[in-house]
Amino acid sequence: MAIQNIIRSLIVETPSKPGNFAKVAKAIGDQGGDIGDIKTLKIGTLSTIRDVSCTCDSVEQLDAIVGALNGLEDITVRAVSDDVMKAHEGGKIHMSRKIDVRSLSDLRRIYTPGVASVCQEIERSPEKANYFTSIGNTVAIVTDGTAILGLGNIGSVAGMPVMEGKSVLFDQFAGISGIPILLDTSNPDEVVETVKHISQGFGGILLEDIGSPHCFEIEERLKKDLNIPVMHDDQHGTAVVTLAAVLSASRYAGVDLKQAVVGQVGLGAAGLAISRMLIEYGVKEVCGSDLQESSCDRLRSFGGTVMNSLEELMQKCDIVIATTGVKGLIKPSMVRKGQIILALSNPYPEITPEEALQAGAAYAADGRLVNNVLGFPGIFRGALNANAKSITYPMLLAAANAIVDATHNGDLVPHPLDPNVHSSVAKAVERIALKELD
Ligand SMILES: NC(=O)c1ccc[n+]([C@@H]2O[C@H](COP(=O)([O-])OP(=O)(O)OC[C@H]3O[C@@H](n4cnc5c(N)ncnc54)[C@H](O)[C@@H]3O)[C@@H](O)[C@H]2O)c1
Ligand SMILES: O=C(O)C[C@H](O)C(=O)O
Ligand SMILES: [Mg+2]
């Protein structure tokens, strides 16, 4: 099946008679479109207007859908609007107050002169900033724009919609304020210095879409130098969720993950961290491939085996995970019967789950399903709740197990809108963090 990525709202008017919407749905389906949400905007005596969200893979396909609908008797497409662009108009986030100023005494209490006594209290006892400010509940979402999704080095400003998205997810799933910080340098010394200089205003640092290999040095140095949790989401958030997904898939397939041969295609930020997590977990053989020798060397240094080619990896491995950013890299002919395949590149996977399953895979998923959104909000919530100074491997492992426990039977991972998953991850991480602080 084609990769679907264009999302449009079709405003469709049909006669107010049963059976007409079925014609709309069939026409869209016949043209290969995928229907999402349907909202009824108006039910009139003669006609009904609905907003039908539709996903398709090309402008030509969209035109064919609109043409097919307009070709139906008494059915008209009144407008086509771009839902995705609309959702981003004016940006997706806004910092707002928790308190109203309704009187002069409110003003004097929350602002000057009242605020001065709070400032002095924090000056005397700096740890009280955790109680009297929002710092402890605020995380910087730091990017240098060098690996925005799989779109490459498109710069921090072009990556801002992703950072705003992460901020929305932090707020909705974990009640955390996430503030995007867009860097105009990817020089590790400058990134580390900049983040260190702003870090006192934050309870944690989420590094996002910073490319490899400089992401490794940046994260390591910041973790060493800062006394607050620092985590590169594309490395560890992804590794946590991937471990959870392969644990569930292995369980369904009746395979002991530790005895399985796992192949990692692409050993950049996400791929190396996934491999390291699997090795730490106890997987006996983790194989990998990458175009860059330096990435292969890193895998070797953590105990993995480098394959000579993608074909060799696909032949050898029971479970294959891909994070290359290369659309369609895995051909159906390479899939081995019964394999578990997670093609995690966004926005385009290395092989679609439909193609992988058709080619004989036992389980398959892409990066929309197996996505670090299931990890980072709860991981930071738990770490901030515990006042943790860092995010450790046992905390990440606890997060992965919490995701497995929150997964419904038959699914690889939980639904990202299931609030239970984020609070379970948070509780599991907090429990371990508190133990480690003891
Ligand atoms: N689903 C998720 O939650 C999730 C999370 C993080 C990253 N990702 C996706 O993973 C992809 C990579 O992200 P990253 O941050 O690791 O980027 P990165 O640039 O650090 O790593 C990509 C790696 O893939 C390698 N590569 C490229 N083409 C290859 C090929 N043909 N064969 C083998 N290796 C190849 C590169 O050499 C590089 O080492 C992106 O598309 C991103 O969207 C998904
Ligand atoms: O942002 C996402 O959807 C996941 C991940 O962080 C990525 O870079 O692809
Ligand atoms: Mg990312």
Read off the pLDDT of residues 134-163 as tens digits, 9 standing for 90 and up. Answer: 999 999 999 999 999 999 999 999 999 999
Q: Of 323, 344, 366, at which residue does a domain stop?
A: 366
CA distances from 108 to 167, 350, 392 (A): 31, 58, 43
* CA dist., res. 249 & res. 243, Å (int): 10
Shared domain for 21 and 142, answered yes or no, is no
Decide if the complex's ipTM is over 0.85: yes
Contacts of 24 (CB under 8 A, 6+ apart): 12, 14, 50, 52, 69, 72, 75
For residue 125, being part of any structural domain is answered with no
Phi-psi region of 337 (alpha: psi -120 to 50; beta: other; left: phi over 0): beta
Q: Whose CA is nearest to atom 9 of ligand 2?
A: 149
Distance of CA 233 from the midpoint of ligand 1 (Å) = 13
Q: Domain total for the chain?
A: 4
Tens-place pLDDT, residues 264-308: 999 999 999 999 999 999 999 999 999 999 999 999 999 999 999
Q: Name the DSSP class of 317.
A: -
Distance of CA 60 from the midpoint of ligand 1 (Å) = 29
Query: What share of residues in the chain are helix, strand, coil (percent, to 5)?
Result: 45, 20, 35
Phi-psi region of 393 (alpha: psi -120 to 50; beta: other; left: phi over 0): alpha
Shared domain for 360 and 419, answered yes or no, is no
Burial bucket for residue 191 (CB in 10 Å: 0-12, 13-18, 19+) = buried
Shared domain for 209 and 223, answered yes or no, is yes
Binning pLDDT at 50, 70 and 90, where does residue 95 land?
very high
* CA dist., res. 391 & res. 396, Å (int): 7
pTM score? 0.92
Paired tokens of 411: 């699914």
Give the residue-averaged pLDDT of 254-270.
96
Q: Is 312 annotated as a binding residue?
A: no
Q: Is 371 annotated as a binding residue?
A: yes
Binning pLDDT at 50, 70 and 90, where does residue 3 land?
low
Mean pLDDT score of the chain, rounded to an integer?
96
Q: Is 418 annotated as a binding residue?
A: no
List the CATH number of the domain containing 344: 3.40.50.720
Tens-place pLDDT, residues 321-352: 999 999 999 999 999 999 999 999 999 999 99
Question: 437 versus 342: which is more confidently predicted?
Answer: 342
For residue 232, the one-letter residue type is H
Q: Of 55, 88, 121, at which residue does a domain stop?
A: 88
Distance of CA 209 from the midpoint of ligand 3 (Å) = 4
Ligand 1 pocket mutation pick from 162, 242, 243, 290 by most atoms within 8 angstroms of CB: 290
Q: Of 33, 55, 88, at which residue does a domain stop?
A: 88
Predicted pLDDT at 114: 95
> Does the pLDDT value for residue 4 go beyond 80?
no
User: pLDDT over 90 for what percent of the chain?
Assistant: 96
Predicted pLDDT at 1: 43
* CA dist., res. 315 & res. 296, Å (int): 19
* CA dist., res. 330 & res. 333, Å (int): 8
Predicted pLDDT at 279: 97
Dihedral sign computed on CA atoms, order 302, 305, 306, 310? negative
Q: Is the CB of 229 under 6 A from ligand 1?
A: no
Q: What is the span of the domain harbouring residue 176?
A: 134-228
Q: Which of 269, 347, 261 is nearest to 312 (CA)?
A: 261
Predicted pLDDT at 391: 98
Residue the block writes with tokens 């679907």:
4
**What lines the ligand 2 site, CB under 6 Å?**
149, 162, 209, 233-234, 346, 367, 371-372
* CA dist., res. 413 & res. 407, Å (int): 5
Predicted pLDDT at 2: 45
Binning pLDDT at 50, 70 and 90, where does residue 438 land?
confident
Q: Is the CB of 265 under 6 A from ligand 1?
A: yes
Q: Is 346 annotated as a binding residue?
A: yes
Paired tokens of 387: 């006042």
Distance of CA 327 from the midpoint of ligand 1 (Å) = 11
* CA dist., res. 371 & res. 390, Å (int): 22
Shared domain for 39 and 10, answered yes or no, is yes
